[in-house]
Amino acid sequence: MATAVTERQYQGQVHEHSRRLMSAWMDELGRAEAEGVPTGALMISGNCVELLRACHILPMFPEVTALQAAIRKKSLPLILKAEQAGYSSDNCAYVKADIGLFLDGGMGPGKPIPFPTITVCNYVGCNVYVKWFEHLADLSGSKLFMLDVPFCRTAQPSAADIQYVVAQLKELIALCESVSGKKFDIDELREILAYAARAEEGYARSKELCKRHPAPFDAYFDAINMMGPINVLRGMREGAEFFDAAVAEFESLVAQGHGPLSEERFRTVVEGPPPYPFYRNFRNLFAKWGAVAVQSTYSTVGGIWEWGFRHDPRRPLESIAEQMMTENLTNRSIVARYAQIKRYVEEWEADALIIHSIKSCRLFSAGQGDMRDYFTRELGVPTLMVESDLEDPRYYAEAQIKNRIDAFFESLEHKKVVAGR
Amino acid sequence: MTADQVLAECRELVAQPIGAAAERWKAQHPDGRAVASYPVWAPVEIIHAAGMLPLAFLGGGTSVELTHADARFQSFVCSIAKSSLELGFQGLCKGVDGFVFSNICDVARNLSSIYQRNFGDVLVEYLHLPQNSTSPAVAAYMAAELKRLAARFEDAWGLRVTPTALAKSIETFNTLRTGIRALYALRIAEPQKLSTVELYTALRALTMAPPEDGIAWVNALLEDIPRRSARQRDGLRVVIEGAFCEQPPLGLLEVLEEAGCYVVEDDLMLGWRWFTSDVATDGDPFARLGAAYVDQAVPSSTRHEGREHRSTGLLEKVRRARADAVIFMPAKFCEPALFDYVLMKQGLEKAGVPHLLVEFEEKMWTFERTRNEIETFVESMLFD
């Protein structure tokens, strides 16, 4: 029997730094109404947070609200409230949790935050976003701007695609000017984009460090601590500095040969969002096997920075448009995601692919059986698929999931033993 | 042709797999290609103008047992996605050369690429349908997207869409849609003379035949149906809403009518009825189609409409069809319909229009519970 794997409490600094920054942002949102600061709701996927910041509109993210409700184990009553109002059990539970809050007349899972002044639906990939923001605008009475972003259906976006998104970004700027009463300054946007590019560089560098054995952090579970700063605080000096500090810490861990667990026995790539209501439990199911995620697709919903894309202050609106169209996970096809995962498995030297299929998000999940077929049959990558939900605790059956995870790693371990003979 | 003869021909056609319809047409057009569009809307004019047969790709209904597709799509995914994939696995689409998908929902988006991966020998194209309804940039963008689609057909098969041919196709489909609108108006006026099952069957057959044949069928129906003798019975005039993608089983529509409903408006086969008035007949035809997409599209859960509340289009349908109630009929797991249900319900309640929710799946075969629900609903309205 191998020695038990234990978790090192290595992530303290990055985690604490992220928590502090995100709390400050939430506090700022909480004060926004009283201080007369306009707020703008955005979605995480391929967002244009830099533009809102340049327009002096404080960004808010209903998805962050939903996940915080889930991680604090407060999502179910909210979901039930939405279902009482007519939402189906088959609708995305992220939306329902937020709707539950909206029906109470507010937002913010811990501290109350006001309804957004404007609702900007950056329609990147997920169709549910359209509905979510239609409903949010309806409930809050805020002005809805539907920023239509063409799905990445050709190798490169066409000139018409870029022109179309840029034209809408200009319309959004005009709307923001009317909301904030402040003139848009393109040079200010350039400065913000430079900070964004620095944070993107830091996030990409952190992910790159996970190619080391052992990886210095878990690129699925710990990446969550970096997803706040990279998606919400992108374009701020504080966001850029956060990643400078994170890279320094991870480099130091690499130098010491430290990973998140006492022993890295299996390297995995994880596909799909985590089950937030049972985040810690789910993590423990992998940790006990010494399984560390060296890459994940969920950590790229806001942007795929590891392939080298950076916002370009010299082409501000064009680079925002390109990022929204092509440089994020959700606006690319599921088959493009297969290519992304394949590259992760090969370059990050992973032993297996873990697919966490969630009921709420069809964009992520619909067709993951085909994904599994591709990786298992065509590439010979050991693949495990487990199902639950990212928000609704009713769909998480731990005993069943544990059985599947244990059986999978037992089999992987057996293969390793046989291969080592 | 009498209405009964047309309807018999339509019934025979819709009983066949989509591949058979393609093969039959191609036997008469040896250099032709057949291109099928996944619901809801795709520009059939472009396909027709390239000299191809436009078809609707509406899943397998009750005709196919899932043996492969269940392993690819999870239990919480709608039936039409699975059965459409299964049709491919079982070779029932053989003869169809290309498929057009679009961004109607997250499942359709993924299905598009999974289809291409599994069936590499057919052309799969993904059409981006804009969700911004108010930007001045949208119409021109839509026109560019349609040109891209046309270019794809030319690259793949050398079939070019000329402006002249497209203008002619627009006129052909304008004629067809005018006929369909007239059929719907006829049913609103005298629902006892044209059942929903009949109307639906005719409409579905139109999507499996060249539009020229469809125009002839519709004209024959328009001529003959008013001559039918049918006594109007006590019934509730209802609008069906939410069945725009996956199609309900015919048995469910029969039950609805048997339980005392006259369906006077619906959103079945919406793709072939997308434009509420004629597409303009002068100017660049791509630009005309692009502009029509923005300003003449039927209200649908698959398209964001920023100029009016989600319930407005439905209330307009209720008013125009002089309906008493709305039956929400979303397919199981259909997120666009299930989300819209909430806002539409609120709008109807504000306007005092009664409604009932009836979910379905294309392979549903037992309707007793649904019959009970509908009968109770009808009775509560008729004897109130």
User: Which residues partner with B123 through β-bridges?
Assistant: B98
Of B81, B132, B338, the CB nearest to A90: B338
- Out of B133, B334, B335, closest to residue A92 by CB: B335
The DSSP line for B138-206 is HHHHHHHHHHHHHHHHHHHH-----HHHHHHHHHHHHHHHHHHHHHHHHHHH-GGGS-HHHHHHHHHHH
User: Are residues A18 and A225 in contact, defined by beta-carbon separation less than 8 angstroms?
Assistant: yes
Answer yes or no: are the C-beta atoms of A79 and A392 closer than 8 Å. Answer: yes
Residue among B248, B286, B291, B294 nearest B267 (CA): B248
Q: Across the interface, do B105 and A126 touch by the CB < 8 Å criterion?
A: no
Write the CB contacts of B102 (distance below 8 Å, at least 6 apart in sequence): B38, B40, B41, B42, B108, B126, B127, B128, B129
Q: How close B73 gets to chain A, by Cα (Å)?
A: 5
The pLDDT of residue A5: 86
What is the per-residue pLDDT across B4-34, written as a single tens digit (0 to 9) for each?
A: 999 999 999 999 999 999 999 999 999 999 9
pLDDT score of A1 = 47
The reply to whether residue B76 touches residue A369, judged by beta carbons under 8 angstroms, is no
- One-letter amino acid at A341 equals I
User: Would the CA dihedral through B149, B155, B159, B162 be positive or negative?
Assistant: positive
Residues 6 or more apart whose Cβ sits within 8 Å of residue B8: none
Which residues contact residue A213 at a Cβ distance below 8 angstroms, ignoring those fewer than 6 apart?
A264, A267, A349
- Cβ–Cβ gap B109/A333 under 8 Å: yes
Report the gap between the CA of A113 and the closest CA in chain B (Å).
24
B223 touching A, CB under 8 A? Answer: no
- The Cα diameter of chain A in Å comes to 72
CB A202 within 8 A of CB A279: no
Inspect the interface and report whether the beta carbons of B135 and A168 lie closer than 8 Å: yes
Between the alpha carbon of residue A205 and those of residues A135, A198, A201, A249, the distances in Å are: 38, 11, 6, 12
- Give the pLDDT score at A11: 62
pLDDT one digit per residue (tens) for chain B, 384 residues: 899 999 999 999 999 999 999 999 999 999 999 999 999 999 999 999 999 999 999 999 988 999 999 999 999 999 999 999 999 999 999 999 999 999 999 999 999 999 999 999 999 999 999 999 999 999 999 999 999 999 999 999 999 999 999 999 999 999 999 999 999 999 999 999 999 999 999 999 999 999 999 999 999 999 999 999 998 888 999 999 999 999 999 999 999 999 999 999 999 999 999 999 999 999 999 999 999 999 999 999 999 999 999 999 999 999 999 999 999 999 999 999 999 999 999 999 999 999 999 999 999 989 999 999 999 999 998 886
The confidence score (pLDDT) of residue B211 equals: 98
Query: Distance of alpha carbon B319 from its chain centroid, rounded?
Result: 22
Q: What angle, rounded to 10 degrees, do the helices at B106-118 and B79-89 form?
A: 10
Q: Which of these, B237, B246, B293, lies nearest to B267 by C-alpha position?
A: B246
pLDDT of residue A105: 80
Residue numbers of B between 338 and 367 with CB closer than 8 Å to A: 338-343, 345-346
Q: SS3 string of B328-373?
A: ECCECCCHHHHHHHHHHHHHHHHHCCCEEECCECCCCCCCHHHHHH
Residue in B73, B134, B336 nearest the CB of A131: B336
Please, what is the average pLDDT of chain B?
96
Using DSSP's 3-state secondary structure scheme, residue A11 falls into coil
The secondary structure element, H or E, covering residue A128 is helix A128-140
Cβ-Cβ pairs closer than 8 A, A with B, add up to 156
- Token pair of A263 as six digits: 């022993």
Q: Give the CA distances from residue A110 to residues A64, A229, A254, in Å, rounded to whole numbers and listed in that order.
A: 12, 19, 36
Residues contacting residue A89 through CB under 8 Å, at least 6 positions apart: A83
Q: Report chain A residues whose CB lies below 8 A from the CB of B112.
A: 333
Beta-carbon count within 10 A of A244 CB: 14
State the nearest Cα–Cα gap between B175 and chain A, in angstroms. 31
Question: In sequence order, what are the residues at sequence separation of 6 or more whose Cβ sits closer than 8 angstroms to the Cβ of residue B273?
Answer: B177, B180, B181, B184, B203, B298
Count Cβ atoms below 10 Å from residue A389 Cβ, excluding itself: 28
pLDDT attached to residue A357: 97
Among the residues of A307-397, which ranges form H helices?
Answer: 316-326, 334-347, 362-365, 368-373
Rg (CA), chain B: 20
User: Contact B135/A171, CB-based, under 8 Å?
Assistant: yes
> In the block, which residue shows the tokens 């993107």?
A200
Closest to A290 (Cα-Cα) out of A186, A240, A215? A215
Reported pTM: 0.96
C-alpha A395/C-alpha B74 separation (Å) is: 14
- What is the distance of C-alpha B242 from the center of its chain? 11
CB neighbour list of residue B213: distance below 8 Å, 6 or more residues apart:
none
Would you say how long chain B is, in residues?
384
Return the pLDDT at A106.
79
Decide: residue A187, CB within 10 A, 0-12 exposed, 13-18 middle, 19+ buried: exposed
Torsion angle of C-alpha atoms B367, B369, B374, B376, degrees rounded to 10: 150
CA of B277 vs chain A CAs: smallest distance (Å): 25
Residues of B in contact with A86 (CB under 8 A): 341-342, 345-346
Interface of B with A in 101-140 (CB under 8 A): 103-107, 109-114, 116-118, 126, 128, 130-138
pLDDT at position A416: 85
pLDDT tens, residue by residue, B89-140: 999 999 999 999 999 999 999 999 999 999 999 999 999 999 999 999 999 9
Q: Are A152 and A336 in contact (CB under 8 A)?
A: yes
Looking from the CA of A391 toward its CB, the CA atoms found within 13 Å total 27
Secondary structure of residue A280 in the 3-state scheme:
helix
CA distance B129 to B274: 13
**CB-hemisphere CA count at 13 Å for A125?**
28
**Spans of chain A below 50 pLDDT:** 1
* Closest Cα in chain B, distance from residue A222 (Å): 28
